[in-house]
Amino acid sequence: MKAIQDCYPPKYAHCYGCGHGNPAGYQLKSYLQEGITQARFTPGMQYSGGVPGHVYGGMIASLLDCHGTASAAAFASHERGVAMEEQIEPPRFVTASLKVDFKNPTPQGVELLVRGELISVEGRKVRVALSLHANDVVCATGEMLAIELRAGA
């Protein structure tokens, strides 16, 4: 299955979170399946938080950030009845607002699962519920408001 981010033309592959053309970035890949988006990522040991063995909170927020905007694009496309990979220029979303709740410490050295569920689509505004899991434990939850860029932006 094609990742949501891989549906964009190469000129948009520079994102720090998900751009496959950014060797310094995470190169996150998100997938929409049965109404849920998922991405898996194992942060390097350089993303240590204040407590040894725990992942830095900003890294966690950035995973939710990037997965959230990709999810918004896939959910909006689905609502419009067209798959991401069927579009030459899929809709592009940026984060307007992201709230994160840190529920449990996120362990280092573990593959993390990031999930997204659609809350609502209202014109250019898409709300996505997000969560981050390690070893089946919810470590963080979040809510994003993503806004679709106007044509030509």
- The contact set with ligand PKZ (CB under 6 A) reads 5, 8, 12, 15, 17-18, 65-66, 69-70, 92, 94-97, 123-125, 145, 147, 150
Minimum distance from residue 16 beta carbon to ligand PKZ (Å): 8
Q: Quick one: 77 or 108, whose CB is closer to ligand PKZ?
A: 77
Outline where DSSP puts E strands in 19-148: 30-33, 36-41, 93-102, 112-122, 125-134, 137-148
With respect to ligand PKZ, which residue has the nearer C-beta, 65 or 108?
Answer: 65
Contact between residue 27 and residue 19 where contact means Cβ atoms under 8 Å apart: yes
- Residues composing the chain: 153
DSSP class of 4: G
Q: Quick one: which of 19, 145, 13, 16 has its CA closest to 72?
A: 145
Q: Which CB, 108 or 127, lies closer to ligand PKZ?
A: 127
Query: Which residue's CB is nearer to ligand PKZ, number 63 or number 108?
Result: 63
Our CA angle for 97, 130, 127, nearest 5°, is: 50
Kindly state the smallest distance separating residue 80's Cβ from ligand PKZ, in Å: 17
- Minimum CB distance to ligand PKZ, residue 92 (Å): 4
Report in angstroms how near the CB of residue 150 gets to ligand PKZ at its nearest: 6
